[in-house]
Amino acid sequence: MGQGGRTQCYEVSTENDENGEPIPCSGMKWTWAATARVDPTRTLSASGQADVDMLDEARYDTKFRYDTSVWATLMYKPGPHLRFRSRGRWLFEDVADNHYLEQSLWGYLDFTYIMPRQYRLRLRYDLYYRLDKRSSTLDRQPNPEHWLWLELEAKF
């Protein structure tokens, strides 16, 4: 902590020592977040979060890199054994440059059935859409990505 401070890297080192090993980063990161939750009924809840990260980045000598994200979650429990959940996130890393880091939308729908005793069945559908203009994103196929999960859990 005695060597930390501004204008140093935070995540990825850009300097190496005499042996070629990366020098650990010791920069700063500040996170500002606001969260809210609403439970209108015993079976329904909604929550959200927005945050801004300010962190040191080697490419910016005099200012922070700004990352931002927004989350929203909706949960519905119609009975003791059923649960429906939907969650979404918008992520924008380095808002000053859409060609440098990730900007994406990600969301999922989740259906869970908790069977009496020791079993749980879960079906989940994810959608991941990259929005940034990096060459790695533009070359990526498919975009958006669709994922389907089927999970059976047994406890014994």
pLDDT of residue 12: 67
pLDDT of residue 156: 83
Domain ranges of the chain: 29-154
Cα torsion angle, 138, 132, 100, 127, sign: negative
Neighbours of 11 (CB within 10 A): 14
pLDDT one digit per residue (tens) for the chain, 156 residues: 455 566 667 766 667 777 878 777 777 889 999 999 999 999 999 999 999 999 888 777 788 889 999 999 999 999 999 999 999 999 999 999 888 899 999 999 999 999 887 899 999 999 999 999 899 999 999 999 999 999 999 988
**pTM: predicted TM-score of the whole model, two decimal places:** 0.81
Q: Using CB atoms within 10 A of its CB, is residue 48 exposed (0-12), middle (13-18) or buried (19+)?
A: middle
Q: Which residues of 135-156 are buried (b: 16+ CB within 10 A; e: fewer)?
A: eebeeeeeeeeeeeeeeeeeee
CB 64 within 8 A of CB 55: yes
pLDDT of residue 1: 42
Q: Which amino acid would we find at residue 63?
A: K
pLDDT of residue 14: 67
The C-alpha atoms of residue 91 and residue 127 are separated, in whole angstroms, by: 14
